[in-house]
Amino acid sequence: MDTPAVSSSKTKILIVDDHPIVRRGFLELINQEPDLEVGGEAETVNDAYSLISQVKPDLIILDISLKEGNGLDLLKRIASDFPSLPVLVVSMHDESLYAERVIRLGARGYVMKEEAEATVISAIRHVLRGQIYLSGPAQERLVRTFSNRNPDTSESLIHGLSNRELEIFRLIGEGQGTRQIAERLGISQKTVESFRARIKQKLRLTSGLELVQQAILWTQNR
């Protein structure tokens, strides 16, 4: 699909939804904000994936139901290939069934379409700050779920991190990617990756995605 011209000074958002009316509504709502701008639109998984490299968005708004594919499959690809790119899922599907699932797949938030007009800008800003955006009940369920499934990932384990490891863990929780952390701390990306591996080992986590999720939840609870 066509990519509108955007100014580099604004935060660029890619809208991935198979309903033209919904995309138009998001475009008008987002473009009203002085610092936000829609950088592209897509209605299929393949079109959306191609546009990521072209548009270089700062955030993706993603629906679960898409033409010629599934939003959950696209979310997995984004989490694998663009781990620092935040995704906000906006869908008609029941939050109680899908919110935890999309967060575990790498999304940074979930908004139901029936509430989107009132909350999507707030959700976008939460996610851009490195926070997870969910409704109150959904966030409580998610925290309980992670606590139950990862009982050893506790404050005692986090206290076992070195000062530099804790600093990097906090930056991960703030939504910073490996390159951003390296630039901020004046170290190489390879060194950051080594720290991430040690943090993951100390917190008894099995994947980079779990590390990001735990760091975000920990940072939000500070």
**Chain segment 131-149, per-residue pLDDT in tens:** 888 876 666 666 555 555 5
Lowest mean pLDDT: which of 2-16, 52-66, 206-220? 2-16
- CA 152 to chain CA centroid, Å, is 24
Distance between CA atoms of residues 166 and 196, nearest Å: 10
Q: Tokens 């198979």 label which residue?
A: 18
Q: Do the Cβ atoms of 49 and 74 come closer than 8 Å? A: yes
What is the number of alpha carbons within 13 Å of residue 85 lying toward its C-beta?
A: 24
Per-residue pLDDT, 118: 83
Of 109, 103, 120, 112, nearest to 33 (Cα)?
A: 120
- Pairing mode of beta strands 69-70, 59-62: unpaired
pLDDT digits (tens, 9 = 90+) for 167-194: 899 888 888 888 889 988 889 999 999 9
Cα atoms in the 13 Å half-sphere on the side-chain side of 219: 22
Q: What is the DSSP letter of 1?
A: -
Sign of the CA dihedral with 130 first, then 179, 61, and 125 last = positive
Q: What domains are defined for the chain?
A: 11-137 (3.40.50.2300), 150-220 (1.10.10.10)
pLDDT at 154 > cutoff 90: no
Q: What is the pLDDT of residue 144?
A: 59
Predicted pLDDT of residue 32:
95
Helix, strand or coil for residue 43? coil
3-state SS assignment for residue 62:
strand
